[in-house]
């Protein structure tokens, strides 16, 4: 997959895609439904499959003081889109200039003149342009005028409810990653580089890979059975593990992070990129009376996680 971070001066072979347009936070089954329609048009037109998205997420620009809400960072989104066969990712910088384009100017300057799209697919609830004045119906009309096709994909429903990023966040807040995975079509994953920590886990016999959660929606704090993909470095591969997502109350800290212990692994992961998939919530975060009690609970958590992963497909 090729990634482009502008819509001007693109190479000729980057133009002409059949593209899905949206934020694609989580790349859930509703997004996959939109992408599948764009893929069908790409095959019919003999065009590459593209995704047009925005970074930062527009909500971060319009409500910078709102609590973190993203299901995935830009790196994780790109990784997921590549895995499902997207040929070209247009990750456009979302700034004041782009936000102030009218719907007509966005369709003309960005979608037609800039990206040269042959077909555009959006969700039925898509809004765009200054003050969110444009919707799917407006885009269909503009596409007819400007020479590119437009399809508005109906919302995907699961058991009578719309599949949405909001519902997935609710499931994660409830400590129900299985429910989130059913709507995502994949495990909810936290991706990023391993950062330095206090190395307490090593002293306890449980060396962990530490990752920050900056900008991400926080699932329920606690301990999880996880599946870990090492994405970079000489030790790439997949491991089971157990992870603590929280603020480490035992040690008086208050910045949430993710600490993951990989089963049957030894080596240095500092600076490498991991993808940690939440499989099952094991227990809430808690404070122990002493180190021995903490280690005993970590032993129980590891045994529980191994049993769960052994029964997972």
Question: Catalytic annotation on 286?
Answer: no
CA 282 to each of CA 14, 219, 226: distance values in angstroms, whole numbers, following the listed order = 46, 13, 10
Encode 162-199: b = buried (16+ Cβ within 10 Å), e = exposed: ebbbebbbebbeebbbebbbbbbbbbbbbbbbbeebee
Residue 270's Cβ-side half-sphere holds a number of Cα atoms within 13 Å equal to 6
Give every CB contact of residue 158 below 8 A, 6+ residues apart in sequence.
29, 182, 183
Distance CA 179, CA 190 (A): 16
Read off the tokens for 304: 């529980």
Smallest CA-to-CA distance from 278 within 260, 291, 293, 264 is with 260
Catalytic member of 82, 259, 285, 286: 259
Handedness of CA 43, 37, 59, 70 (dihedral sign): negative
CB 232 within 8 A of CB 269: no
C-alpha to C-alpha distance for 34 and 32, rounded to whole angstroms: 5
Catalytically annotated residues = 259
């Amino acid at each position: 997959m090729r990634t482009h971070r502008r819509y001007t001066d693109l190479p000729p072979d980057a133009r002409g895609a059949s593209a899905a347009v949206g934020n694609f936070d989580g790349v859930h089954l509703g997004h996959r439904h939109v992408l599948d329609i764009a893929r069908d048009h790409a095959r019919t037109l003999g065009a590459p499959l593209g995704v047009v998205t925005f970074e930062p997420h527009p909500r971060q620009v319009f409500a910078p003081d709102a609590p973190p809400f993203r299901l995935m960072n830009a790196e994780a989104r790109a990784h997921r889109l590549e895995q499902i066969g997207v040929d070209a990712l247009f990750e456009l910088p979302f700034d004041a200039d782009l936000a102030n384009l009218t719907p007509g100017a966005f369709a003309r300057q960005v979608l037609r003149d800039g990206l040269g799209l042959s077909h555009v697919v959006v969700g039925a609830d898509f809004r765009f342009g200054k003050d969110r004045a444009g919707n799917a119906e407006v885009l269909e009309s503009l596409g007819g005028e400007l020479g590119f096709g437009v399809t508005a994909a109906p919302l995907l429903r699961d058991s009578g409810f719309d599949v949405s990023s909001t519902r997935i966040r609710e499931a994660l807040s409830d400590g129900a990653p299985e429910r989130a995975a059913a709507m995502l079509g994949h495990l909810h994953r936290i991706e990023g580089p391993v950062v330095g920590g206090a190395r307490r886990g090593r002293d306890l016999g449980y060396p962990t890979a530490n990752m920050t959660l900056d900008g991400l929606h926080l699932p329920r704090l606690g301990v999880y059975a996880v599946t870990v993909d090492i994405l970079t470095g000489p030790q790439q591969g997949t491991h089971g593990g157990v992870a603590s997502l929280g603020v480490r109350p035992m040690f008086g800290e208050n910045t949430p992070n993710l600490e993951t212990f990989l089963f049957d692994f030894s080596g240095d992961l500092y600076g490498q990129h991991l993808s940690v998939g939440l499989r099952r919530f094991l227990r809430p975060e808690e404070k122990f009376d002493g180190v021995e009690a903490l280690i005993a609970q970590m032993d129980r958590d590891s045994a529980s996680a191994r049993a769960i992963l052994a029964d997972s497909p």
